[in-house]
Chains A and B, each alone.
Chain A
Amino acid sequence: MTAPIITMDRVTRRFGEQILAVDNMTMDIKEGEFISFLGPSGCGKSTALKMIAGLLPVSAGTIEIADETDASEQDLAFVFQEPTLMPWATVFANVYLPLRLAGVKRAEAEPRVMAILAEVGLTKFAKSYPRALSGGMKMRVSIARALVTKPRILLMDEPFAALDEMTRSKLNNDVVRLAKDNGLTVIFVTHSVFEAVYLSTRIIVMAARPGRVAADISLDAAWPRNDDWRTTAEFAVQAQSVSETLQETLHVDDLDH
């Protein structure tokens, strides 16, 4: 964890005249960090993520991403809240998509696609269509598609919000270990304190109206963590602390607005 891989300097995003979605967001994100943007609905965390991805322009300020390395074909990968798969294409074709768009031939891409499908445990389902998969499996396909280009930065926008607790917990572990094994820098948007504490090396607590950084919390506990850590006193204390910080931001904002 050395030089910043992403630098956000006074980043602001407005929607029309009235809505200030993100106000003056400044932070450095270092290579290899697993950061969670944590906050209530409407605090601008997804907007901030989309600005980093280049999917939304900034209204003011700058976002700089350190130069690409040679090994990386695609700097950024994005996992949406929904699996966002092409329903007309097989699992293989969905994961192959980023490589196909980059001009990689199918024969050349096949070993890479199958390797990443093996990593997420879906080799047997390569020829299946998304409709035949459960919610958790679809999300794994989405993660495989994001990782097939070997990105440096993985952006995840509440990817597991719609999943049941068991699948969510399993995918949490998968994502953390994939991030560690591949040296990924991850920005993970969530509104779950427990998920943020379990996954992250650092939590950015955001407040709403206007969306802004309310707290920047580094978590010192050894990372990656395993399921046992969820039952430790350390986890409970960290979760309590983050939860209190989040509550303070909620008190500041009038939720009825």
Chain B
Amino acid sequence: MSTTLTTENDATQYDEAPENTEQGARERRERRLSWLMPIIMLSAAVGYWEWAIWYFEVPPYLIPAPSVIGKTLITDGPSLMVSAWFTVKLTLLSLLLAIIGGVILGALFALSRTVEMSLFPFAVILQVTPVVAIAPLILIYVHSTFAALLICAWIVAFFPILSGTVVGLRSADHNLRDLFTLYRATPLQRLRFLLAPSALPQFMSALKVAGGLALIGAVVAEFVAGAAGQNTGLASRIIESSFRSEIPRMFAALVLVSLLGIAIFLATSWASRRVLGHWHESELRREH
């Protein structure tokens, strides 16, 4: 290889790469707006809520004002935080197990049609049967309450990860597959350099869904188990407060559940941007 055939000047003369000058400023402005607007709108909504409670003189046992909920969060903080930590552990652990199980099983499904045909019905049964219906049985058969709740939350979060992994691993470009065949790539090289990166968009999308579902699974399972008074999660605090007509405390626990859900959503969205932001359409900002 001896001759330089096309100089870089030639290359840029005919094929100019997009410049990022004005676009940078526009992106910064959009990024600022993306967190500023929700904060402004939420603040306005909470402000209106506070004003409406005061104006219409709604008693706190019907609908508490945001300030009352805030006070409850402070006064009942220690006990609510213990419950919140329980729900956090349950949610994150079930999500982690769903990722491990979903990815391993998804990889097996993608590599072998026989394995998929054999095991897919079980995955579907787990997915379509409501966790509320399975939870009481699991609570009977599994001695540890935490383990039982974990299984319930895992069942809910597992399927999206499995499905996303399978679809993702199968969505690798066919020409790239041929290229890897031509270069005699080993199965491990194929998995590492082609299939896994190709699967990332679907996997990250599944992770966003599974993150929310893990929390829903954890809360639903806590509700079922909480009726028997066996655990200390946020859902149990809600039920307990309901029995005692402690409406502000119910709202306070609900706020914590929502905050946890938002935190999971933000974390999975951030992870998705980090992983896909530099190359995949779903996370790329459009140039105007």
Contact = CB atoms under 8 A, between A and B. Distances in A.
Interface string A68-108: 00000010111010101011110000000110111000000
Q: Which of A78, A86, A120 has the most CB of B within 10 A?
A: A86
Interface residues on A, range: 35 or more
Nearest to B18: A132
Nearest to A93: B193
Contact of A140 (B11, B173, B200, B279): B11
Given A76-B182, A82-B175, A121 B284 contact: no
Contacts of B180: 101
Interface residues of B, number: 35
Contacts of B183: 74, 97-98, 101-102, 149
A140 B4 CA distance: 13
Interface string A127-160: 0111111111100100000010110000000000
B196 to A, nearest CB: 10
Nearest to A117: B8
A182 interface: yes
B190 to A, nearest CB: 9
Contacts, number: 112
A119 B3 contact: yes
Contacts of B200: 88
B21 interface: no
Contacts of A130: 279
The dominant DSSP class at the B interface is loop
A121 B279 contact: no
Contact of B17 (A53, A78, A100, A133): A133
B14 A167 contact: yes
A116 interface: yes
Nearest to B20: A132
A101 B193 contact: yes
Nearest to B275: A88
A118 B5 CA distance: 9
B18 A115 contact: no
A134 B77 CA distance: 57
Interface of B: 1-8, 10-11, 14-18, 173, 175-176, 178-185, 189, 193-194, 197, 200, 278-280, 284
6 contacts: A76-B182, A102-B183, A129-B279, A147-B1, A170-B10, A178-B5
